[in-house]
């Protein structure tokens, strides 16, 4: 039973990581514009996150080094500090966006004032994280995120043409005109970025240490990374598919979180719609928790301070102040009226730009035989790791120009 | 202006789908009451953007028609019934359909 529940770390990481506010809206926008044509990027992104999630879990277990300890060692103090500041800024923006998204969903479920709902979201999450032990945080948010399965069932219930769906698995240019080509590239990079958001590996590697994984758990590490990410990928494909079936033919470009849940009401009606809203709420709550905790993990790991969700606040004071601070500042940002989707657009592009600085140190350490011994990357890991790192680097260079040229994905 | 027309058409099409779902009792009550505010927010934003636009003489007529469509969209959104199953939802859906198609025709002309 414990082994089964252990998978919740992967599920929470993946659902909170790449089925978060940004991914939900971004993927549906891509489906609404290009149908199934971007399905292949979800497959590619899933393969990349599985490879790197497994690697950072393995490094955490074997070397007992979480991601930001590796970043400091590999990049040096100066570049490491720049990466730390950039990553935590990204975590803060994403946390604020997710809290804003939670406010919107609570408003849709209750009708209460949206800002009050955002305040409730902050208090609820801060209390939940304060009270629950790490294992219960991942179980609560990981398992409740499974409500998102309603999107997958809705997609199947709409009776898609599976052959047409499968054509999207092969990358091909079906767009015409310069603007459409830029939009296609922007959404491809955006989906890829949202699937590889840095906080996923920050949270996952720290979680492996929080859970006291040992070398005996390396098999579980593969399963957790694989199953969690595959589940997240299936749900992401379903979101893209729903938009391709329901929004594309009608000329709808979903520009609000509330629009995305509507897709489940078409085949199933009001109960499915409520379940979809609860699923979205669970996933974006999980993402808010991941980003807030990652902010605290990163600083403490970089400066070698005591950290751990299962430690008392007195034992890990900096860590505790930091995650509480992330919620408070994130809450202030979203309550001040900044649109969550604007924050998401910034976080996706900014996240892509700094991504190589997180993934390169992981790859170098995982392949280092002096540190990892017989658990170092084999040839296949190295080839895949470098291949994905090249793709990440190319995407990180292209992200900002594409954002400017497409006016952040304007159709 | 083409981009604004695309967005406006999208909001009208979404509002049409939403109205049909609510008319058929397929949306949860709280969602029925609260989702329109997000559509209205988007439509108001478009109206503000269109109001600020200065068009070349050859597209002034198109801009005026787009502004009219946007004003109509805002009006219909603000007058939506509050309860699902209300027969007026079908009427709203028809209006959104007309707005969507008028905007789409205009977009093709641009």
Digit-coded pLDDT (tens) for B58-109: 778 888 999 999 999 999 999 999 888 888 999 999 999 999 999 999 888 8
Closest residue, chain B, to A268 (C-alpha): B26
Q: What residues of B are in contact with residue A113 (Cβ under 8 Å)?
A: none
| Range with lowest mean pLDDT among A131-145, A312-326, A383-397, B6-20 | A131-145
Note the pLDDT of residue B49: 87
Mean pLDDT of B16-29: 95
The beta-carbon neighbor of A251 closest among B9, B18, B38 is: B9
Looking at per-residue pLDDT, the higher value among A262 and A409 belongs to: A262
Q: What are the residues whose beta carbons fall under 8 Å from the beta carbon of A315, sequence distance 6 or more?
A: A306, A308
Find which of B35, B77, B97 to mutate to test the A interface (most A CBs within 10 Å of its CB): B35
List, for residues A272-310, the tens digit of each pLDDT value: 999 999 999 999 999 999 999 999 999 999 999 999 999
B66, B19, A342, A32 alpha-carbon torsion, rounded to 10°: -80
A274 and B28: CB-CB below 8 Å?
yes
Res. A228: pLDDT tops 90: no
Interface of A with B in 107-146 (CB under 8 A): 107-111
Mean pLDDT of A352-371: 94
Note the pLDDT of residue A19: 83
Interface size A-B, in CB pairs within 8 Å, comes to 85
Find where tokens 């505790």 sit: A320
The beta-carbon neighbor of B28 closest among A104, A270, A411 is: A270
- Round the average pLDDT of chain A to a whole number and report it: 92
Retrieve residue B87's tokens: 């027969």
Res. A118: pLDDT tops 70: yes
Give B56→chain A minimum CA distance, Å: 22
Q: What are the residues whose beta carbons fall under 8 Å from the beta carbon of B102, sequence distance 6 or more?
A: B65, B69
Res. A175: pLDDT tops 70: yes
The beta-carbon neighbor of B21 closest among A250, A254, A266 is: A266
Q: What residues of B are in contact with residue A251 (Cβ under 8 Å)?
A: 6, 9-10, 13, 100, 104
C-alpha Rg value of chain A to the nearest Å: 20
Closest residue, chain B, to A261 (C-alpha): B31
Q: What residues of A are in contact with residue B26 (Cβ under 8 Å)?
A: 265-266, 269-270, 273
> Cα(A272)–Cα(A408) distance, rounded to whole angstroms?
31
List, for residues A305-347, the tens digit of each pLDDT value: 999 999 999 999 999 999 999 999 999 999 999 999 999 888 9
| Range with lowest mean pLDDT among A73-82, A209-218, A277-286, B58-67 | B58-67
A258 and B27: CB-CB below 8 Å?
no
Closest residue, chain A, to B19 (C-alpha): A262
Q: What are the residues whose beta carbons fall under 8 Å from the beta carbon of B87, sequence distance 6 or more?
A: B23
> Cα(B98)–Cα(A56) distance, rounded to whole angstroms?
54
Q: What are the residues whose beta carbons fall under 8 Å from the beta carbon of A284, sequence distance 6 or more?
A: A16, A20, A21, A24, A98, A101, A102, A105
The beta-carbon neighbor of B27 closest among A104, A256, A270 is: A270
Q: Does A183 touch chain B (CB under 8 A)?
A: no
Note the pLDDT of residue A247: 97
Give A32→chain B minimum CA distance, Å: 10
Note the pLDDT of residue A14: 66
CB of A297 closer than 8 Å to CB of A117? no
pLDDT band at A10 (very low <50, low <70, confident <90, very high): low
B29 and A269: CB-CB below 8 Å?
no
Mean pLDDT of A385-410: 94
Retrieve residue B83's tokens: 């309860």
């Amino acid at each position: 039973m414990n082994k089964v529940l252990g998978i919740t770390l992967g599920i929470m990481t993946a659902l909170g990581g790449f089925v978060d506010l940004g991914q939900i809206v971004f993927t549906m926008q891509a489906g609404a514009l290009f149908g199934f044509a971007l399905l292949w990027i979800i497959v590619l992104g899933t393969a990349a996150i599985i490879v790197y999630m497994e690697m950072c879990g393995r490094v955490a277990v074997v070397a007992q080094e979480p991601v930001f300890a590796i970043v400091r060692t590999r990049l040096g103090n100066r570049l490491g500090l720049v990466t730390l500041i950039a990553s935590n800024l990204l975590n803060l923006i994403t946390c604020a966006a997710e809290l804003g998204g939670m406010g919107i969903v609570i408003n849709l479920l209750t009708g209460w004032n949206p800002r009050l709902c955002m305040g409730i979201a902050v208090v609820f999450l801060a209390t939940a994280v304060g009270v629950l032990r790490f294992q219960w945080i991942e179980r609560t948010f990981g398992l409740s995120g499974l409500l998102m399965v309603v999107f997958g069932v809705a997609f199947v219930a709409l009776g898609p043409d599976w052959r047409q769906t499968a054509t999207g698995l092969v990358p091909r240019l079906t767009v015409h005109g310069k603007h459409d080509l830029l939009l296609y590239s922007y959404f491809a990079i955006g989906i890829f970025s949202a699937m590889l958001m840095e906080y996923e590996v920050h949270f996952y590697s720290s979680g492996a240490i929080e859970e006291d994984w040992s070398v005996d758990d390396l098999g579980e590490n593969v399963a957790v990374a694989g199953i969690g990410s595959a589940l997240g990928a299936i749900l992401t494909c379903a979101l893209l598919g729903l938009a391709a079936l329901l929004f594309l033919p009608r000329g709808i470009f979903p520009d609000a979180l509330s629009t995305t849940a509507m897709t489940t009401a078409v085949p199933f009606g009001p109960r499915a719609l409520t379940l979809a809203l609860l699923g979205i709420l669970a996933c974006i709550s999980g993402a808010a928790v991941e980003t807030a905790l990652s902010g605290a993990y990163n600083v403490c790991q970089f400066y070698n301070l005591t950290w751990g969700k299962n430690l008392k606040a007195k034992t890990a004071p900096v860590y505790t102040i930091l995650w509480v601070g992330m919620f408070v500042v994130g809450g202030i940002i979203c309550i001040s009226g900044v649109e969550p989707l604007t924050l998401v657009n910034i976080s996706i592009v900014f996240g892509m730009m700094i991504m190589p600085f997180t993934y390169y140190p992981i790859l170098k350490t995982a392949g280092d035989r002096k540190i990892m011994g017989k658990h170092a990357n084999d040839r296949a890991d190295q080839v895949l790791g470098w291949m994905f790192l090249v793709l990440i680097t190319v995407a990180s260079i292209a992200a900002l120009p594409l954002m400017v040229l497409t006016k952040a994905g304007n159709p | 202006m083409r981009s604004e027309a695309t967005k406006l058409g999208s909001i009208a099409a979404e509002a049409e789908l939403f109205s049909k779902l609510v008319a058929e009792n397929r949306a949860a009550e709280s969602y029925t009451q609260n989702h329109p505010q997000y559509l209205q927010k988007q439509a108001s934003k478009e109206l503000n953007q269109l109001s600020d636009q200065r068009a070349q003489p050859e597209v002034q007529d198109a801009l005026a028609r787009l502004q009219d469509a946007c004003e109509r969209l805002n009006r219909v959104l603000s007058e939506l019934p509050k309860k699902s199953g209300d027969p007026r939802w079908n009427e709203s859906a028809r209006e959104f359909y007309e707005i969507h198609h008028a905007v789409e025709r205009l977009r093709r002309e641009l």
